[in-house]
Amino acid sequence: MPWRGIIHEYGELIDLPKTSPVITLLEGGTPLIPLPALGRMLGKEVTLYAKFEGLNPTGSFKDRGMTVAISEAAGRKAKSVICASTGNTAASAAAYAARSGIPCIVLIPQGKVAMGKLAGALAYGAKVLQIQGSFDDALTMVVQASQKLAIALVNSLNPYRLEGQKTAAFEICDALGKSPDWLCLPVGNAGNITSYWMGFKQYHQLKQTGLPKILGVQAEGAAPLVVGHPVEPETVATAIRIGKPARGEQALEAAQESEGGIIAVSDDCILDMQKSLASEGIWVEPASAAGLAGLAREVRENRLTVDGQTIVTVCTGHGLKDPDIITRRSPPIPILAPVLSDLEEALRG
């Protein structure tokens, strides 16, 4: 049977009122792509996969949570939905809201959202508002607005978002027949790490799939969970440019309970790993390279050995979301006259 979207595929494991309609774009069912060259760099007989969440309908993992959150909002006849976003949540909320016919409002930090995300939110018809502040300021505003104005909040503070996002853990266990030894992923507002841990625990209880160690990775300039207090965030990985994660406590619990950890890596380290992933044919946005960048650094600096182990790195968003970061950092592209001699010259050089 063709893939039916996460609500139909995992229905009874997702806590969604039975009376809700199913608003779906057939999200989920994303591939676990082997990364043999990068696996060899990590150690002997390492089996490394990317869970490529950039292949969801709007290009990020957010679609898993949004199908459930928007279905629930539609079920209780919400008049409109609202979220704060570094971009991907905005595009995803806009798409699912459009699908359900509910108006969508998104608040984004001015000048800090990658073009592919902003364009997505506009294309799907959301009302986009820029805040002169960070994601954290925008989140505070939408929480207040949702309480005062009776607009449904679809940030990951909404528990239905987690219900959807946890299905990625189910899919990984289904594909491998068990949980991996390690799961590494980027951490921003900390909804996703919380969801994965929920999902792995639920599946283990049901099917004895085992539990992975979870390594959450923040950007050094936006690492409140590593430094232990809120920060004024700054990083090239704008998706995770967050200084006060709403689910920070749960992220720390997931890391601790799973015997993993939460660490931070530099922007250079993130961009280097973005390049390395692309060299195996997987182009992800910068934030999505953070998980593996962190794990690789721990191995390189001898804090971790992963010989013989199975590792999944969650690639949360597609590279097409943030094309500027690539073009800005590349050398100028040669311009040729339309003659063969120019081409020959260029190929010699």
Binding site for ligand F0G (CB under 6 A): 60, 62, 85-89, 156, 186-193, 239-240, 285, 287-288, 316-317
Nearest-CA neighbor of 306 among 34, 35, 37, 41? 41
CB of 193: closest distance to ligand F0G in angstroms?
6
- Percent helix, strand, coil in the chain, to 5, is 45, 15, 40
CB of 316 to ligand F0G, least distance (A): 3
Strands (E), 173-276: 182-186, 213-219, 261-265
| Closer residue to ligand F0G in complex, CB, 4/130 | 130
62: closest CA among 86, 88, 29, 34? Answer: 88
For ligand F0G, give the closer residue by CB, 62 or 244.
62
Contact call for residues 295 and 311 (beta carbons, < 8 A)? yes
Identity of the residue, 276 or 309, whose beta carbon is nearer to ligand F0G in the bound complex: 276
Q: How many residues does the chain have?
A: 349
Closest CA to 72 of 28, 20, 117, 120: 20
Angle between helix axes 88-100 and 115-123 (nearest 10 degrees) is 10
- 39/291 with CB nearer ligand F0G: 291
Rounded least distance, CB 51 to ligand F0G, Å: 12
Q: Which is nearer to ligand F0G, 118 or 190 (CB)?
A: 190
CB of 209 to ligand F0G, least distance (A): 22
Shortest distance in whole angstroms from residue 70 CB to ligand F0G: 15
